[in-house]
Amino acid sequence: MNPRPPEGLPTDCQRLIVVGGSFDPVHRAHIELPDLARRHWHPEDAWLLYVPTARSPFKDKSPRAGEQDRLAMLRLALADTQHTALWTDEIDRAREASGPSYTIETLERLYTAAPWVREVRLLMGVDQAVSFHRWRQPRRILELASPLVILRDADAHQAITQLDATGYWSPPELARWRSWIVATPLRGVSATHIRELLAGGAQQTELASMLDPKVAEYIFQHGLYGS
């Protein structure tokens, strides 16, 4: 299946940051932290490309909300944000064949779907960076998209120490990982916590600091996560 072009991505955009995740549901940190990374890297012309996963190869459970609900919430959250686009390729592929989505396949298809793009970065947290050597073809991924690792500045040394402890990366490679770190004021919000609050009877007003109001309204209108 040939990949469809990303939604909302202009053909003069040459720099992309891929933001992957289940977005189950999408929350404020999903929007704010990638934008900080974008401003750190290339604030003038880089775009954020949100790529919702069908199923992670490192998670046994599928996302709680259905594909259409997760896409609808993402579109609502991105509607008022600049330099953002959406690509449904991993979900599209899952409709054709079962099995997990691998980043290496997504990146290879991205260069086909958006051939005008010249440089791609891959946004990730420290946990993903530390386990990156277990991803499919990790060094090939680095040829296609260098990471941008978001974490608190105080955690940078610990992150490199953890990467070194894997025994996978050479000293020059570790130096490259250090250059890929973007210090950010990480927010204490997670999709898991939001789902727990909703299942426990939290009201829409209680989630105002965590969710875009349009996303919160969608969740309650459709009764997602036990709301």
Residue 69, pLDDT score: 96
Which residues of the chain are under the pLDDT cut of 50? none
Residue 15, pLDDT score: 98
Residue 156, pLDDT score: 85
Select from 16, 203, 211 the least CA-distant residue to 113. Answer: 16
3-class SS at 55? Answer: coil
Whether residue 191 contacts residue 23, with contact meaning beta carbons closer than 8 Å, is answered with: yes
Residue 83, pLDDT score: 97
The phi, psi pair for 86, rounded to 5°, reads -125, 135
CATH superfamily of 15-187: HUPs (3.40.50.620)
Domain spans of the chain, in order of start? 15-187
Residue 58, pLDDT score: 58
Whether residue 77 contacts residue 40, with contact meaning beta carbons closer than 8 Å, is answered with: no
Inter-CA distances, 34 with 26, 31, 43, 46, 217, Å = 13, 6, 12, 11, 23
Pairwise CA distance, residues 92 & 98, whole Å: 11
